[in-house]
Amino acid sequence: MDKEEYQEIYINLDDSGKLTRKEKVSLYAGIVFLSKQEKDKFITQYRKIINEIKCSYCKENKKECSKHCKEIKNTNIKNSHKRRIMNYIKKYYKVALIIDNSKVYNYIIDNKPSKGRYIDYTIRRLIKSTIEELIKSKKINPYKNIRLIINIDEQTTKSNGYYNLKDGLTEELLHGISNFNYDKVYKNILYRKLEIKLSYQDSGKSYLVQAADLIAGTTRRVAKNNIENNINIQENLDFIDHKLLFP
C-alpha cells in the first residue's frame, strides 16, 4: 500500500510582551515554511550567521572556550547583528498576531484561566488565517492531506499556559468553531486528513524559535511605537507578510 502524501506547514512562534495592563502591546510572531527542505535550508544559513557573530557575545577567553555559548536573543543582540539576521529572515514568510492590551476586556486580563483561553483562541486564529492565506495564494491545497508542525517557545507555555491548543486547532480547521465571544461561526477550511504535531521547545536549542524571538521583538517595538505616537498599530510593519490585530 502506497504511503499517503501530506503537504507540510511548519509554523514557529514566540511571544513578546505580556497580556497585562502594565504593557501596551502583547503579541506572537514567527516564521513559516512549506517543506522540510525549506526549513532545513533556513536553519543551515541561520546557524552560519549565528556562528559568525556569537563569539562577540562571550566573555570567555578564546583559549579557554567551554563551547557553552550565550543564546542570542532580541533583548541582547546588537543592532548591526539584528539587521543582518532580519535581512536574512525577510526572505521567508513571516506572521504576527498583535494584541492591543488596552482594548481587551478586564474580565479576561484579570482572570488567569480566561487570559489563557483568550491567548489560546488568538493563536488558533493566527494559525487558521495563515493557512487561509496560503490557500488563497495556492501554496496549499485544502483538498489534500495536511501535516501541521507547530513549534512554540516553552517559556511562553510556563507563563501563559495553553488550553488544549492541538484539539482546538483540529476543530477550527476541520470542523469550524464559534469565536471567543460566541457571536460568530467560522467555517472549516481543510477537507482531508489533518495531522498536527505541537512542540514546546527550548529557545536555546532551537534556531527556529530564536528566529521567531527576533521577529516578535522587532514587531512589538514597532507596534508599541505606533501606539505611543498615535499611529495605526499595524503601520510600519511591512516586513510581516501576514498579521492580525486583536481584539
Per-residue pLDDT of the chain (247 residues; tens, 9 = 90+): 457 899 999 999 999 999 999 999 999 999 999 999 999 999 999 999 998 998 777 776 666 666 677 778 888 899 999 999 999 999 999 999 999 999 999 999 999 888 988 998 899 999 999 999 999 999 999 999 999 999 998 765 555 555 578 888 998 899 887 665 556 777 899 999 999 999 988 888 899 999 999 999 999 999 999 999 999 998 999 999 999 999 9
- Determine the residue type at 120: D
**Is residue 197, in this structure, part of any structural domain at all?**
yes
**Is residue 134, in this structure, part of any structural domain at all?**
yes
**Is residue 93, in this structure, part of any structural domain at all?**
yes
> What does the pLDDT read at residue 177?
74
**Is residue 109, in this structure, part of any structural domain at all?**
yes
Query: Is 128 within 8 Å of 171 (Cβ atoms)?
Result: no
Buried b (16+ CB within 10 A) or exposed e, 3-27: eeeebbbbbbbbbbbbbeeeebbbb
Q: How many domains does one find in the chain?
A: 1
**Residue 79: CA count within 13 A, CB half-sphere:** 0
**Is residue 2, in this structure, part of any structural domain at all?**
no
Count of CB atoms within 10 A of residue 101's CB?
20
**Is residue 80, in this structure, part of any structural domain at all?**
yes
CATH number, domain of 24, equals 3.30.420
Angle between helices 36-53 and 207-228 (to 10 degrees): 80
pTM: 0.91
**Is residue 1, in this structure, part of any structural domain at all?**
no
Strands 25-33 and 93-100 come out as: antiparallel
What range does the domain containing 170 cover? 7-246
